[in-house]
Every structure is written in C-alpha cells, then in structure tokens.
Amino acid sequence: MASYLITLSNSAVPLFVGLILLVAKFRGVKVHEVFVQGAAEGFDIAIKMIPYLVAMLTAIGAARTSGLLELVLSPLQGPLTILGFPSELLPIALMRPLSGSASFALMVDALQTYGPDSLLGLMASTLQGATDTTFYILAVYFGSVGVKRFRYAPFVGLIADLAGITSAVLLARLVWG
C-alpha cells in the first residue's frame, strides 16, 4: 500500500509533464519556443518575494530563538489540554501554521520518541500532512504581487488550520484510539 502510494506520487510529475507535451504536440504547439517564453517570467516572480520572505522568516526565527513564541502560545496550552488535545503534540500543532520546516522537525522527533505507529506518532503525522504553512503562503503569495492589506485572509487560514488539526486529532482517536 505504502510503496504503491509512493510510486504513484513519484510518477505524478513525469505523467503530468508527459501528458501536457503529448497534447501540445498533437495540437501543433511549438513546444520549445512557448516553454522558453513562459519560463522567462520565473526569475522576476521569485525575486519579488525575497523581501517579504526575509521579513517573515527573521521575525518567526527570532521569536522562536528568544522564547517569545513559547511565551505567547503558552496561554493556549491549558484550554487545549482540557479539550482533550494531547499536550505532547501541542508544539507541533502550534508551530504548523508558522513554520513548515520547524513543525516537520518536531514531527520527526515525535515519530522517534513515541514510535511512528503509536497513537501519538500517527496523530503527529496526520497533523503535519493535513494542513499547510499558512503564514508562509500568505507572505509569499501576497508579497509576490505587493498586496499590503490582507483583510480577512489570515483569519480564514487560521480557522481552517484549527479545523484541520482538530479533525486530525479526533479522527485519529476514532480510528486508532
């Protein structure tokens, strides 16, 4: 099952590329010429997001190193534990919307500490996979076009994260608990 899924996800890129090329050739598109025209835009878009990414990553990195993030997030621990959220996984859940690499590292740590097939290990894997790094996406997507006022987008993203994390924990308890 796992090896089948990994093969499938590994084949997704070549299948995607092959299909596009086949249809394009069939319709008489000048594939090389069109590809180069499109690819030329890549650099500009990437360069435009650098300042936004630097601003966000330095602030989150500083808050993590100094212990400020822990301080700000600690009031959430009490209520969440009372609601049945396993306290061992709180750091992963709280880090997930802020930093994908940090929460991934915490997940790997949990897999090693509790075992990948334990309830906590399964929950940690589900948490990590089910939601995305909301703040990274906001900074990069809005940053690349220069939008400064995000309106309600961060709010919606965080509510969705909360929903994803809650259902991951509840479903994991239901299936493996």
Partner 1 sequence: MLDLIWFILLFGSVVLSLWRGEPEAITLALLQEAESAVKLTLGLVGNMAFWLGMLSIAEAAGIVTMLARIMKPVFSFLFPTLPTQDPVAGAILMNLSANMLGLGNAATPLGLKAMQRLQELNPDPSEATAAMCTFLALNTCCITFIPTAVLAARAAAGSSKPAATVSITFLSSAVASIVAVVVDRWCYHLWGRR
Of residues 20, 81, 84, 177, which one binds partner 1 by CB under 8 A?
Answer: 20
Considering the rule CB under 8 A, would residue 117 count as an interface residue with partner 1? yes
- What string marks each residue from 46 to 85 as x (binds partner 1 by CB under 8 A) or -? xx-xx--xxxxxxxxxxxxxxxx--x--------------
Tell the smallest beta-carbon distance from residue 7 to partner 1 (Å): 11
User: By CB under 8 A, which span of 74-82, 83-91, 106-114 interacts with partner 1?
Assistant: 106-114
DSSP annotation string for 4-37:
HHHHHHHHHHHHHHHHHHHHHHHTT--HHHHHHH
Residue 93 binds partner 1 (CB under 8 A): no
Contact with partner 1 (CB under 8 A) among 42, 79, 82, 83: 42
Q: Are 98 and 57 in contact (CB under 8 A)?
A: no
Residue closer to partner 1 by CB (options 89, 134) is: 134
CB-based burial label for 49 (10 Å; 0-12, 13-18, 19+): middle
Q: Smallest gap, in angstroms, from Cβ of residue 124 to partner 1?
A: 9
Cβ–Cβ contacts within 10 Å for residue 41, how many?
9
Give how far Cα 55 sits from Cα of 35, 45, 136, Å: 33, 17, 11
Q: Which residue from 34, 76, 84, 88 is in contact with partner 1, where contact means CB under 8 A?
A: 34
